[in-house]
């Protein structure tokens, strides 16, 4: 494709925390890319293992890697590290990547070429999970050739991708941000839904370009082992996305996210888990659905928590 010395520079931003077992493999997969005009900014969220030593030794051989410990004034968490790393970047095209996963050799070359040859705002590769025994399924099995990209279809996971898959022009990345102060898993959800409100001039490349590692400390295994944590994460994600999109999404879509958040919170309450952000949810219900439904919501949550009942009220509130 002739892109080795392409004028467009790619900034790869990696947030990491205690990934000494995997991160060097990740960095090698980046270093070996057929596309060479990139920088890789690694923001360490305060690792307590040997990540710092390993990475610092590695980057001595390649000045395109930049390593920095998260400054004290930056909030802890992978999303805050991603946002900080982005501010430190200078590339024309932006790529976020996880510190335990692998880029295939032509990952950047294929995506950069797709954007440039078709004058796109973003391109999305595909990836496949793997573990110590070999390759597994893809994170999302969708018809990439015929899929239509819209914000609502992404919200429903009818079309979807993980953080590793996206390459986006800086002018759009400038208008996006990862939500800080939340559970960091599935953080691409609100980021990509807003991207699709900004532009749908993108492409789903029907080619495996990355491998996502499945291991005991990763998102996939956590979700399987901790179903309540998974519900909490999704409830938080729905509310966070609603708040993040308040200036760009139609009111009906904001109500849709709020409805999903309420449904998950009631489910948690019935499992004797007190939902988070009760006051924020109540205030948004009052704003979008009126005082009565807003006041009924805490009562329904309390009923679910104490008695395991109240679904009829929740159903009324969500209408």
- pLDDT, position 289: 96
Q: Other CB atoms closer than 10 Å to residue 267's CB: what's the count?
A: 18
**Is the separation of the CB atoms in 280 and 182 below 8 Å?**
no
Single pTM value for the model: 0.94
**Is the separation of the CB atoms in 64 and 40 below 8 Å?**
yes
Q: Other CB atoms closer than 10 Å to residue 191's CB: what's the count?
A: 21
Torsion of CA 162, 163, 169, 170, to 10 degrees: 160
Please give the structure tokens belonging to residue 268.
């948690």
- pLDDT, position 1: 47
Nearest to 106, CA basis, from 33, 168, 5, 29: 33
CATH 3.90.550.10 domain span(s) along the chain: 10-221
Please give the structure tokens belonging to residue 256.
């849709």
- pLDDT, position 147: 93
Q: Report the DSSP beta bridge partners of residue 124.
A: 166, 204
For residue 132, give the 3-state DSSP assignment.
coil
Reply yes or no on domain 10-221 having CATH 3.40.50.1000.
no
Mean pLDDT in consecutive groups of 10 residues from the start of the chain, 319 residues: 73 97 98 98 98 96 96 94 97 97 98 98 97 94 93 95 97 95 75 97 97 83 77 92 96 97 96 94 97 96 96 94
**Is the separation of the CB atoms in 5 and 37 below 8 Å?**
yes
Q: What is the pLDDT of residues 16-36, one digit of tens each?
A: 999 999 999 999 999 999 999
Please give the structure tokens belonging to residue 98.
């996880």
Longest alpha-carbon distance in the chain: 66
**Is the separation of the CB atoms in 84 and 179 below 8 Å?**
no
Torsion of CA 175, 181, 186, 191, to 10 degrees: -10
- pLDDT, position 150: 97
Q: What is the pLDDT of residues 205-231, one digit of tens each?
A: 999 999 999 987 766 766 677 788 889
Identify the burial level of 252 via C-beta atoms within 10 angstroms of its C-beta, where 0-12 means exposed, 13-18 middle and 19 or more buried. exposed
């Amino acid at each position: 494709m002739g892109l080795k010395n392409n004028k467009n520079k790619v900034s790869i931003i990696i947030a990491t925390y205690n990934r000494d077992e995997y991160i060097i493999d990740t960095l090698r997969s980046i270093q070996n890319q057929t596309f060479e005009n990139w920088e890789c900014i690694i923001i360490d969220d305060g690792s307590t293992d040997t990540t710092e030593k390993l990475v610092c030794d590695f980057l001595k051989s390649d000045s395109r890697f930049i390593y920095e410990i998260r400054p004290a004034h930056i909030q802890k968490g992978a999303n805050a590290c991603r946002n900080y790393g982005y501010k430190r970047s200078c590339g024309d095209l932006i790529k976020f990547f996880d510190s335990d996963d692998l880029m295939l050799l032509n990952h950047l070359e294929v995506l950069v070429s797709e954007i440039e040859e078709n004058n796109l705002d973003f391109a999305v590769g595909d990836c496949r999970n793997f573990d110590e025994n070999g390759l597994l399924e893809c994170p999302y099995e969708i018809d990439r050739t015929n899929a239509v990209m819209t914000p609502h279809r992404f919200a429903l996971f009818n079309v979807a991708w993980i953080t590793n898959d996206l390459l986006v022009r800086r002018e759009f990345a400038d208008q996006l941000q990862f939500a800080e102060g939340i559970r960091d898993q599935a953080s691409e959800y609100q980021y990509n839904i807003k991207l699709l409100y900004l532009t749908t001039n993108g492409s789903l490349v029907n080619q495996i370009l990355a491998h996502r590692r499945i291991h005991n400390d990763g998102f996939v295994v956590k979700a399987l082992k901790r179903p309540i944590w998974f519900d909490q994460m999704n409830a938080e994600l729905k509310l966070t996305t609603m708040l993040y999109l308040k200036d760009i999404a139609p009111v009906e879509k904001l109500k849709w996210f709020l409805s999903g958040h309420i449904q998950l919170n009631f489910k948690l309450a019935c499992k004797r888990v007190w939902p988070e952000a009760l006051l924020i949810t109540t205030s948004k219900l009052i704003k979008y659905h009126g005082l009565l439904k807003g006041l009924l919501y805490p009562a329904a949550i309390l009923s679910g928590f104490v008695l395991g009942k109240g679904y009829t009220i929740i159903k009324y509130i969500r209408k």
